[in-house]
Amino acid sequence: MEVDKGKGEAEETRKVAEADRDTVTLKSSDGKLFEVSKEAAARLSTVLAGMIAGGSIDDNGTDLKQIGSEALENVVDYCNKHANSIPSAALISSSISFNTAPFKEPEEWERKFVDRLSHDALFDLVEAANFLGMERLLDVTCHKISEMMKGKSPDQIREVFNIKNDYTKEELEEIRQELAWAFYDD
Amino acid sequence: MDALPPELQTTILYRLPARDVVRTSILSRPWRRRWESVPDLDIDLTDLHSWATATTFLSRCAAPIRRLRLHGVPPHLAVCVDSWLRLAAGKSPRVLSAPPVGFAGLRALATLSLEKVFFRARNAWRQVEEMLAAAPGLVELTLRDIIFHVAGDGGLPGRWVIGGQSLRRVELCLEIAGAGFWEVGSVPKLECAHVVLNDSPEHRDYFKLFTALSGVKELNVGNFNGRTYQVRVFLCLSALNQTSRIIRISGVT
């Protein structure tokens, strides 16, 4: 019927307008534009939540001058994946647990998400997450970096993180003596 | 890594075991003292080969400490334990797994685990009571294989009470012969209790014990030497534990 068709079109228009309002556009330091769900951005980033609430979001792309396009793409990707993920059994379980650690373990998809990143991309993402106040993403990225250090010898860590050993032999010996309990196995 | 702001370096480091954090001091000059500003350390000092340097470490590490485990201290160094624990207690540990000392600084303690501890001090069960009283935020408590020294022949340690206003989980594995006549006192928030009973019933008022534990959601009762009369335990449990959703009993003889 005529009326129904008109109603359907109005519905379509409304949906488009709504979809429009449901995202925010972010602009990287090198001028690339990225769209991200407004709900996920507000939930995962305290800084973006503040900008959305304060009306300082620019429809033509909100400038994030501190964040390069690769890092911003990863941020947006993370937000979208997060919006689609189902809470793991551990999170919804009612079993009594007493975790004294100040951070939560990453979930499987979060591990995969950071595992595929290059070194530089990972460190850029840490800084982007920090800048945007994304506590969970910061947790996940920092966890990954700490995993890369866990149980490694000083030489292995220097190699992975490109740290130059500028100690003299005497200085190294002095530090080993001072805190010998931590260096016994070397 | 070196280019990151210091607070992010800390965020990364505090996830590592304390040993790994300390070992970063050897990477390069900028790293030499970085570990000293990493809070929330998870410290495991077990069977060390160089106990003497534990003092340097504990006096320099940042506060608060998340967890300190101090096990396998050789007898000739037992006198140092007190000073180590005082150093640690001054740094508001949230979890302490070691012989106790004096107790200011334990207000933030969330987990306490005392296992295979021999107490030499006179009336040391009072020490443990005081320690529990000094830690009102204690959520999880494990007391296992504790022996209090009693002077003279054949004496038993005195009566003492295990309790805490925030306790949600307790694990008790204590023999009267070693740990004396312990009782469970006020535990208004207790949700889960594991209790191993191993004393003959004439010495132990099970009715009183299970009354104290009657509010828990999960109760596990074990019996490791087969000396407990299970029938009496069953009767007490069926009379009292209306609220428990899970009751497990093992080691029935």
The answer to whether B148 and B124 have CB atoms below 8 angstroms apart is yes
Structure tokens at B19: 């040993």
Q: Among all residues of chain A, which has the CA nearest to that of B24?
A: A154
Gap between the Cα atoms of B81 and B3, Å rounded: 39
Q: Is B191 exposed, middle or buried (0-12, 13-18, 19+ CB in 10 A)?
A: middle
Q: In this predicted complex, what is the ipTM?
A: 0.77
The helices-and-strands tally (H runs, E runs) of chain A is 11, 3
Residue with tokens 């991200």: A36
Q: Which residues of B touch A182 (CB under 8 A)?
A: 18-19, 22-23, 53, 57
Domain ranges (residues) in chain B: 1-95
CA dist list (Å): B242 to A2, A31, B1, B209, B235: 66, 66, 57, 15, 13
pLDDT digits (tens, 9 = 90+) for A13-49: 544 444 456 899 999 999 999 999 998 999 999 999 9
CA dist list (Å): B208 to B184, B211, B233, B245: 8, 5, 11, 20
Give the pLDDT of residue A133.
Answer: 94
For the cut 90, the answer to whether the pLDDT of residue A56 exceeds it is no
Comparing A59 with A110, the larger pLDDT belongs to A110
Give the pLDDT of residue B231.
Answer: 52
pLDDT digits (tens, 9 = 90+) for B111-146: 888 777 777 777 888 888 888 888 888 999 988 888
Q: Which residues of A touch B9 (CB under 8 A)?
A: none
CA dist list (Å): B159 to B162, B172, B213, B235: 10, 16, 18, 25
Inter-chain touch B26–A154, beta carbons under 8 Å = yes
Gap between the Cα atoms of B81 and B84, Å rounded: 5
Q: Which residues of A touch B50 (CB under 8 A)?
A: 180-181, 184
Sign of CA dihedral B58, A100, B97, B14: negative
> What DSSP state is assigned to residue B202?
G
Interface test with B, best of A66, A135, A146 (most B CBs within 10 A): A146
Q: Which residues of B touch A123 (CB under 8 A)?
A: 1, 3-4
The answer to whether A113 and A81 have CB atoms below 8 angstroms apart is yes
- Whole-number mean pLDDT of chain A? 82
Inter-chain touch B12–A163, beta carbons under 8 Å = no
Inter-chain touch B48–A181, beta carbons under 8 Å = yes
Which of A89-98, A126-135, B63-72, B235-244 bottoms out in mean pLDDT, i.e. has the lowest?
A: A89-98
For the cut 60, the answer to whether the pLDDT of residue A58 exceeds it is yes
Q: Among all residues of chain A, which has the CA nearest to that of B95?
A: A100
pLDDT digits (tens, 9 = 90+) for B157-170: 888 999 999 999 99
Give the pLDDT of residue B207.
Answer: 79
Cβ–Cβ contact A104 with B under 8 A: no
CA gyration radius for chain B?
21
A29-53 b/e with 16+ CB inside 10 Å = b?
eeeeebebbbebbbbbbeebbebbe
Inter-chain touch B13–A146, beta carbons under 8 Å = yes
Gap between the Cα atoms of A104 and B56, Å rounded: 31
In sequence order, which residues have a C-beta less than 8 Å from that of residue A51 and are 6 or more positions away? Answer: A57, A62
Of A98, A123, A130, the CB nearest to B169: A98
Instruction: Report, as an integer, the average pLDDT of A112-131.
Output: 95
Q: Which residues pair with B27 in a beta bridge?
A: none
pLDDT digits (tens, 9 = 90+) for B42-98: 898 888 888 889 889 999 999 888 888 877 777 677 667 767 877 887 777 777 766
Residues 150-179 of A with CB under 8 A from B: 150-152, 154, 157-158, 161-167, 172, 175-179
Closest to B113 (Cα-Cα) out of B137, B87, B90, B139: B139
Q: Among all residues of chain B, which has the CA nearest to that of A173?
A: B26
Q: Nearest CA to CA, how far is B54 from chain A (Å)? A: 7
Instruction: Report, as an integer, the average pLDDT of B212-223.
Output: 82
In sequence order, which residues have a C-beta less than 8 Å from that of residue B22 and are 6 or more positions away? Answer: A179, A182, B35, B57
Q: Among all residues of chain A, which has the CA nearest to that of B7?
A: A130
Structure tokens at B218: 């999960």
Inter-chain touch A96–B192, beta carbons under 8 Å = yes
Q: Is A141 exposed, middle or buried (0-12, 13-18, 19+ CB in 10 A)?
A: buried
The answer to whether B148 and B180 have CB atoms below 8 angstroms apart is yes
Q: Among all residues of chain A, which has the CA nearest to that of B10?
A: A142
Cβ–Cβ contact B14 with A under 8 A: yes
The amino acid at residue B31 is W
Cβ–Cβ contact B171 with A under 8 A: no
Closest to B82 (Cα-Cα) out of B95, B98, B68, B61: B98
Angle of helix A154-161 relative to helix A135-149, nearest 10 degrees? 130
Cβ–Cβ contact A180 with B under 8 A: yes
Q: Nearest CA to CA, how far is A59 from chain B (Å)? A: 32
pTM here is 0.66
Q: Nearest CA to CA, how far is B200 from chain A (Å)? A: 32
Of B1, B4, B15, the CB nearest to A143: B15
